[in-house]
Structure 1
Amino acid sequence: MTLAGQQEDIQLLAETLQERLLADVPGTENFQVKCVVKNDELMVLVQHPPGVSSDTDTIFAIVEQGLQWQFYYQGQQAQCFIRAVGEKLPYAKQTLNLQVPKTLIQEETDIEPEIEAQEVILSPFEIPSVGDADPDIPITDDPFNTPIEEPILNNSFIDDIEIQNDIGIEPNIEAEEEKFDPFAGSSDLGSQKKPIWASMPLQAVAGAALLLAVLGGGSTYFLSRACIISECQEFQTAENIKSQSQKLIRGAKSEKQLQAVQKQIDDAISALQNIPGWSPRHGEAQELITAFSGQSTKISQVVNALQKGTAAKKKTEAPVKSLDDLRKTQDLWRQAITPLETIKPNNDLYSLAQSNLPEYQQNLQTVNQQLLKEETWLKKLDSVKAVANAATQSETTAKSSSDWQKVRSTWEVVVNNLKSIPQTSSGYEEARKLLTEYQPKLIEARTRATKETLAAKAYQQAVSAANQAKAYGSQNQWQAAVNSWQLAVQSVQQISQDSLYYKQAQPLIDTYSASLTQAKERLQLTNNVSQTRADLSSTCTNGIKFCTFTIEASGITVRLTPQYEQVLASNQAQMSNHYQSLQSALMVISDNARLPLVIYNSQGQQSYAHSPAQ
């Protein structure tokens, strides 16, 4: 085989492996594969842009599967490397043991009885003559065992990597780094692929023809399944689906319709994947698989978005149970919106995506607003609990009427805030329960605050009235003093036993009551003296002044005037009765005043004394 032919085989192998990676491993659109044979060993390099993560195990598995279907490398070993573009060293390496695929072994096993049962008679002209063979191609016993030379590619990565069995992979940094370019001259995935038969050695083609003639009917079934002979049903089905799927996708109105189209596409992919790597139509199959896979991925993306939208709508219509529940609804709407926003106008799914996107976005906005309000209500609920705790603490330390007024105001704030939480909030039920607990506390605080206010007012009124009573007493205004002492006693008696002022008020009750009694006595005395004085004045004077008098707490002192004594002396018989009447009148006044009476003559000599009856 010429060097150019070998290079084409290697290039075709690299493209085939690259297509398999693209079809089977998501995110490998920018991955590139290069192959080279050195020292009778196949080496495969997989490169990707810097910063892109890769699943090395999956990549090694896909490359190994792809190589197992290549006739040339079955039963051999190959080295596979993975590295980032621009890096000197691969960061992953694996030795691949290329065994014959089990499916191929099974197919060959299935047709062996049929081959043995046939009597094979070959016509002389059906067997290629050795003399007709190309003299440049060596003839071996096995036409499929054609020796393969070692093609050396200009873009080989062997110049950049040396394989060391004992220490692994080391770069030949100094000598070859400048000229190493593994992608120079490589073709794109979209370039025309050559059928694998076109690059096979002549002996392989002749051997295949001989084997085909020998195997007969059994091999016909095997080769038709590999899309080598007769029509390829997998391709016909795939092409039909390809031509119809675009129209079906554009006309889809629901996720169920999309899933029906996707099932057809996935079935086509499964059928195309049965075409082995050594089939002449493998490259075309991979192209269709790649196209279908991308289409199926997009459909899955939209279907998943629609399913998320349906789930989000159900949660939106249900009553809000918790803030976390509302956040889950928000996340569902975001998961529904994000995939739909990535669908570009030139995509067949664009119309369906746009028909749902505005509604989803509006629903997300509504949920965002609801979430903001819900967070506000729940924060208020937490704040209310904290204020309620503070009110409870204040109750235990309140020592005055003003303290209880503050407690009452605090409980009013708590209750009013709880009443403001709407029924649509997830905290509504908790707010109702707290109201049941806190409203009695508010009523109690109001009652206690009112009681303390009245107690404080009564106490202050009592003290003020007592001070005023003392002032009146000092001015001998005993009637005003009595009135003030009565107000003081009444006020202090109004203070409730469970108020803060009760203990302070109790001693004042006895004090104020005693002062009231004294004031009443002084008032009575004052009233008696006034009446007595009036009575004495009218009794001691009638035309002439009969007597003079003084009123003291110890009694009444009456002194006869000299003028009256002269009248008595000049007309003793007639005036004797008058003196007796005067004396009787003074005795009555003494009895009424409850004061002792002493009568003196003008010379100061006691002439009569009287003590009132007790």
Structure 2
Amino acid sequence: MELVTDQENLQRQENLNHQESLQQFTEKLQVRLLSLPQNIPVQVQCVVRRGNLMVLNQHAPDEKPDPRLVFRELQRAIQTWIPDFTEAIFNSSPVSPTSQAKLYLRILGQKHPYAYHYFNLCLPNLAESATQELTESLPNSIKQIEETLDRREEANQLPITGSELVLRPTDPDWESFSLVEQSSFEEKTIPQVQEASGRSQWLPWILAGVGVSVVSFAGGMFLMSRPCMIKQCEPLEKAEMLSQQAAQTLQKAKSEQDLRQAQQQLTEVNLLLKGIPAWSRRHGEAQALLQADQSQLTWVERVLAAESQAESAMQKAQKLPQSAADWQQVQSLWRSAIAQLTPIPQVTPLYPYVQQRLAVYQDNLKTTDQYIVAEQQAQKKLAVAKSTANIASARQGLAQSPENWQRVQVTWQVAVNALRQIPNTTTSFAEAQQLLTEYESKLGIARDRVNQEKLSKYALNQATTLAKKAIALQQQNQWTQAAATWRSALNQLNQISAGTLYYDQAQPLLTTYSTALEQAETQLQQAVAQQKLRADLDRICAGTPKTCIYVMTPDLIRVQFTPTYEKTLQQAYTAGQAGNYSLLGGTVNHVDSLQTALQTLSNNAGIPLEVYSSNGMDLLGSFNPGG
């Protein structure tokens, strides 16, 4: 009874070891697919049946992995790793040179796979390798002892039900297998040790016991001195702890310093895992973790490289202004940094940090692009301003008419506007400011000349209009208004600036209008004098009775006594003859006063004066100026 109990315990332990080895192998395949650049999103499950390794790969309905890529990568991985897992995986299953790996690809939730692939495993003969263990040298014997112990640890597959791994109807091997073994596949997890077999179940233990007895002391010392040769593996445990810490650091990373810390942790993980020897029982587990962490380390190094390029870009961008070529170097750095981060998959702990940095990089790239465009546009505007200024200078040298000068002004304005649009963050700004001072001065000259031409044209038009008005007034003998109008016309001509188109036209008119003004003023003086003369004559001829009437010409003043006045004179002379000397004396005094007034008037007017009787025929007297 004691022997049966030990055998059951050994069988149970071997089953557990088989499950652990198969799980490690499955995890390695899973990690292999996820660590590829394509990041193949499939779930891997493995089971051993009739000496064949069956691998089921399932994916979500919305994922579309390439079956050829999946099967190619799995075949490479299996052919590479299967020698290290052959004994642990196939120890409880019949093995032959025709043993195969059967790979299936199925949509999660579906009953049947939609693609499959088979290939031969070419496994070694386990029985023959067991019989040769005692013929090896001492170190090799120690390794063969451990391998022999591992081969004896039988274990069943992971609990996968028949409904989860079903071949397409076109696969007769799997159909046969599923019909014969479906009940055990769904219900049995740890099959019992078979009593009947092709060879004794105790023979390997006897051989192993002999081997141990031969090398007990030296082998024991060697095993105790090697890492991970017993169940506990401190390097692997420490590596797993550091790997978890690195993942947490990456998930919470906020700065480059956090990435450096994770990089250091992952590097230490690599060193620990690489120190676990190939013949260790934990070597497969270590290799799976190593491959996963190496993938993480690769992504971390990509991010650090991107951060380095970003830092270089930031430093180069600090200098303002700089040329388009310099900005293009900054642009290249940002693009390279973005290219480093873009392939990093979402499944990595780095992904949140990467997305945050990508947003920053893309914003900075956009700003850099804007600087490049601004620099290029500034150079174009500067070139346009210079070219336009050359055109303006040429036009200015030929300008004659107001229209020409208007075109010169507009051209200078275009050049100035182009310079004013150049931002101060560009290399063209300094030169633009120097040219702006020069161009604005020339624009001012052109603007003043345009204004002068406009004013001169207006003044000439006003002068000619006023001259026409003055002539009309002269024709109406309105000499006061005519003289004033001629003065206004001359004032308009004097406002025409020298050098303008209308200046030469105004010079002859100045002489003409000046002469007309003098004539008008002379006529005005004469009119004023005649007006005063008439007033004086009206005063002299006034009275009761009215003394005289007159007619004025430029050469003669003709005064004629009124009949009433002549009658009064005759009456006075008659009275005087009659002895009325008082009336006669008064009349004589009046005649003397009239004579004196007429003489003075003739002298003042400078015009001869003649006095006639009331019939206008008899000349009574005449007066000459100064006579």
Change (3 A) 1:383 1:554: farther
Amino acid in structure 1 at the alignment position of 2:373: E
Return the offset for 1:398.
5.3
Q: Distance in 1 between matches of 2:402 and 2:234?
A: 93
In the TM superposition, residue 361 of structure 1 has moved relative to its aligned partner by 1.2
How far did 1:418 drift?
5.2
Summarize the Cα distance change of 1:336–1:579 in structure 2 as closer, same or farther, 3 Å threshold. Answer: same
Check conservation: 1:262, 1:299, Cα contact below 8 A: no
Identity of aligned residues (%): 30
* Selected match of 1:358 from 356, 359, 384: 356
* Contact kept? 2:384, 2:415, Cα under 8 Å: no
Aligned residue type for 2:594? L
- Which residue identity does 1:305 align to in structure 2? A
Distance 2:261 2:459 in 1: 85
Identify unmatched segments of 5+ residues in structure 2.
1-31, 41-65, 67-116, 127-135, 141-221, 251-256, 279-283, 578-583
Deviation at 1:590, TM superposition (A): 2.1
- Write the mapping of 1:144-183 to structure 2, written as runs, cut at 5 A: none
Structure 1 residue 483: Cα displacement: 1.0
Q: Give the unaligned 5+ runs of structure 1.
A: 1-21, 31-48, 50-183, 199-207, 213-228, 276-282
Greater shift after overlay, 517-526 or 286-295? Answer: 286-295
Equivalent in the alignment of 1:550: 551
Shift of 1:321: 2.4
Taking a change above 3 Å as real, the CA distance of residues 472 and 257 of structure 1, as seen in their structure-2 partners, is same
CA contact (8 A) 2:239 2:272 kept: no
Deviation at 1:539, TM superposition (A): 1.8
Distance 1:545 1:479 in 2: 32
In structure 2, the residue matched to 1:499 is 500
Give 1:484's aligned residue. Answer: 485
- Distance 1:380-1:249 versus aligned 2 partners, 3 A rule: same
Structure 1 residue 520 displacement after superposition: 0.9
CA distance in 1 between counterparts of 2:37 and 2:347 reads 21
Number of matched pairs: 430
The alpha-carbon deviation at position 549 of structure 1 amounts to 2.1
CA distance in structure 2 between the aligned counterparts of 1:373 and 1:612, rounded to whole angstroms: 98
CA distance in 2, matches of 1:406, 1:557: 69
The match for 1:70 is none
User: Which of 573, 596, 603 is the aligned partner of 1:591?
Assistant: 603
Equivalent in the alignment of 1:510: 511
CA 1:292–1:360 in structure 2 vs 1: closer, same or farther (change >3 Å)?
Answer: closer
> More helix by proportion, 1 or 2?
2
> Where do residues 109-128 of structure 1 align in structure 2 (5 Å cutoff)?
none
How does 1:131-142 map onto structure 2 within 5 Å?
A: none
Does structure 1 conserve the Cα–Cα contact (< 8 Å) formed by 2:335 and 2:365?
A: no
Alignment of 1:212-227 (within 5 A): none
Q: Is the 8 A contact 2:249 2:262 kept in 1?
A: no
Shift of 1:543: 2.4
Q: What corresponds to 1:534 in structure 2?
A: 535
3-state secondary structure, aligned to 1:595:
coil
Cα 1:560–1:439, aligned 2, differ >3 Å: closer, same or farther? Answer: same
Distance 2:516 2:343 in 1: 97
Is the 8 Å Cα contact of residues 337 and 361 (structure 1) preserved in structure 2? no
Work out whether residues 495 and 505 of structure 1, in 8 Å CA contact, stay in contact via their aligned partners in 2: yes
Equivalent pair of 2:338/2:361 in contact (CA under 8 Å): no
For the structure 1 residues 313 and 29, does the alpha-carbon distance in structure 2 shift closer, same or farther, using more than 3 Å as the test?
closer
Question: Paired residue for 2:343?
Answer: 342
> What pairs up with 1:63-462 in 2 under 5 angstroms?
248=246, 251=249, 253-254=257-258, 256-257=260-261, 297-347=298-348, 349-350=350-351, 354=353, 356-365=354-363, 367-369=365-367, 371-372=369-370, 375=373, 379=377, 382-383=380-381, 386=384, 390=388, 393=392, 396=396, 399=400, 423-424=424-425, 428-462=429-463
1:249 and 1:373 map into 2 onto residues whose CA distance is: 39
Partner of 1:176: none
Report the equivalent of 2:625.
612
Partner of 2:469: 468
Q: Is the 8 A contact 1:246 1:348 kept in 2?
A: no
Tell me the TM-score normalized by structure 2.
0.50
CA distance in 1, matches of 2:467, 2:544: 48
3-state secondary structure, aligned to 2:617: coil
Q: Is the 8 A contact 2:456 2:500 kept in 1?
A: yes
How much has 1:515 moved relative to structure 2? 1.1
SS at match of 1:549: strand
Determine the C-alpha separation between the residues in 2 that align with 1:557 and 1:315: 110
Matched residue SS, 2:595: helix
Amino acid at match of 2:518: T
Counterpart of 1:393, as a letter, is A
- In the superposition, the TM-score normalised over structure 1's length comes to 0.51
In the alignment, the residues of structure 2 paired with residue 254 and residue 524 of structure 1 have an alpha-carbon distance, to the nearest angstrom, of 109
* 8 Å Cα contact 2:310-2:361 kept in structure 1: no
Residue aligned with 1:533, SS: helix
Q: Distance in 1 between matches of 2:314 and 2:601?
A: 107
Distance 1:237 1:553 in 2: 146
Return closer, same or farther for 1:475/1:531 CA change in 2, 3 Å cut-off. Answer: same
Give the C-alpha shift of residue 404 in structure 1: 5.3
Find the counterpart in structure 2 of residue 120 from structure 1.
none
Equivalent AA in structure 2 for residue 594 of structure 1: G
**What is the deviation of 1:517?**
0.9
Once residues 591 and 374 of structure 1 are traced to their aligned partners in structure 2, the CA distance between those partners, rounded to angstroms, is 98
SS of 1:542's partner is coil
